[in-house]
Structure 1
């Protein structure tokens, strides 16, 4: 495959024969490491990559026997999906070992353990970096509770069937859209959705300590986080607070709260707060004497200060204007 035909060819960041340059560039894009090519022999190394706050996706080639020694990654997870050739991965000072083969298997490096990766000259891979916070927050949203410890992924995964094949398919789809002129990944929101899909596929595709919980049937419609948040909103709907403040009070990140509500409530926390406040305004309008109270006054009591927007939201929920409810 020529460089022009490679995945993510329009996003090339490295093409070098120099071991030191390859080590520097790959360290900058991914994580610091030591690179050796059988005594410093020349490489035919190339890296094409894209990056966002959720993940880095790269197509990486060394073109020679290469050995990488990595300390614990600390702030990220690293996932290699082998496309051709062969690699050998060890973790925990050699206590865990995996051999990956092109289009058949991949490997995961974790924040808490050192690793080594040996490449054959013909090996090519999708090399992916997932920062800890977004991935763990996403898992917390899927489970309905915060994640406090690093994910202990298995060292390898099967890419030929089941969840592993779904992960490869998700990554291929993201790469294809990034390469396709006018692809939906060129739109920020569409790209974010694709990358979130890849994160979900990884969490389902490689076993870890939360796998059973993630796969278990839901025994309740609302996890505790949702119930506690709804109870707080119901009790404090008349008070001023932001969603980040609400998330901190619940002991989770804003993203975890948003993902959990989207999954279990079908709306964002902001939409739920607005819905509760509209319900309270509606009750006050029904009970009020139009000679004594105004729509503007009652709406402001529940935090609706923009009257035009409030009237639109109220009519969308109740099918009539707030002034009509007050007069009735």
Structure 2
């Protein structure tokens, strides 16, 4: 697969894993088909693309950063062996399923779309659209759901066509995917730690199953209430609602109704990080979203960092760079 050096994008997500830089519609269709699923690709008026794909794959999921750089439409038959999830980062897309019965317009950092194994679909991109594009093989995802439910899944997971990425479980899904991407991009990150990577990928699968309503959601909610620690769910919801306030471990523990020690143990066991690290991760995601959507003339890195609770700019920049692979000023300049 050819990488065209005329299109360097070193600050993009997964930039070290670029497999496509092309202006040719047929080449873009061929590469994306090889990585994801067979489809037809058309650009408006046959115009050339500025298509780019950076991607990393494992048996559980394929995570890619995809851009077409032009008005482009993909027509997909039923996917058969996988679920396909797009989380829109910039620009807009329009997606349909079931012959047009399901239709959604996605916009940057607000929502995304799920395409099903059993249904045909189309996705139209604007030139500004960039997305996390993920493929989840049916076997691992349905087995993961079965493990959460305590019994095998006997039918296709009928996901809603879209999800809200701005709050609650949908926001946690976006944060989980960003965390996976940032760790893959980080030197000495998850690519060098297969067991840790598998755990984070499992967390992404769980975040997807909790972040997008589907045909098993009611049962999963009942099961989660029995088998997953209420303290973790309650704390995560509290953080989402109060992330712009002072959130000490003692305050989080009071909100969850447990001791600070119990809270720390629960987060380490079920989330793989401390409560403080989780709060920082959510706040970093909020700063990142503000910088990605902000105008350099109107937005300052310091102002956004202070707004989301970072008082030490040196430590903030260090955490930001480790999570997103670039300085916050670089994110703002790319706007």
TM band (smaller chain): 0.5 to 0.7
SS in 2 for 1:169: helix
Unaligned runs of 5+ in 1: 222-261, 264-328
1:9 shift after superposition:
0.2
1:5 equivalent to 2:24? Answer: no
Rg larger in 1 or in 2? 1
When the two chains are superposed, the root-mean-square deviation of aligned CA atoms in Å is: 1.7
**More off after superposition, 177-186 vs 128-137:** 177-186
For 1:128 and 1:53, how far apart are their aligned partners in 2?
12
1:25 equivalent to 2:52? Answer: no
SS in 2 for 1:181: coil
For 1:131 and 1:206, how far apart are their aligned partners in 2?
17
1:186 shift after superposition:
2.1
Q: What residue in structure 2 maps to residue 121 of structure 1?
A: 127
TM-score, length basis structure 1: 0.66
For 1:5 and 1:140, how far apart are their aligned partners in 2?
38
Unaligned runs of 5+ in 2: 1-6, 228-268, 271-335
SS in 2 for 1:87: strand
Aligned residues: 223
Counterpart pick for 1:170 among 145, 158, 176 = 176
For 1:144 and 1:67, how far apart are their aligned partners in 2?
40
1:132 equivalent to 2:138? Answer: yes
Counterpart pick for 1:16 among 22, 29, 41 = 22
* Deviations 1:295-319, CA, capped at 9 Å, x for gaps: xxxxxxxxxxxxxxxxxxxxxxxxx
Structure 1 ranges of 4+ moved more than 4 A: 217-221
The alpha-carbon distance between structure 1 residues 220 and 20, as it changes in their structure 2 partners (threshold 3 A), is closer
Q: What residue in structure 2 maps to residue 201 of structure 1?
A: 207
Counterpart pick for 2:219 among 213, 222, 240 = 213
Residues 86, 123 of structure 1: 8 Å contact kept: yes
For 1:215 and 1:59, how far apart are their aligned partners in 2?
31
Q: What residue in structure 1 maps to residue 110 of structure 2?
A: 104
TM-score, length basis structure 2: 0.65
For 1:134 and 1:36, how far apart are their aligned partners in 2?
32
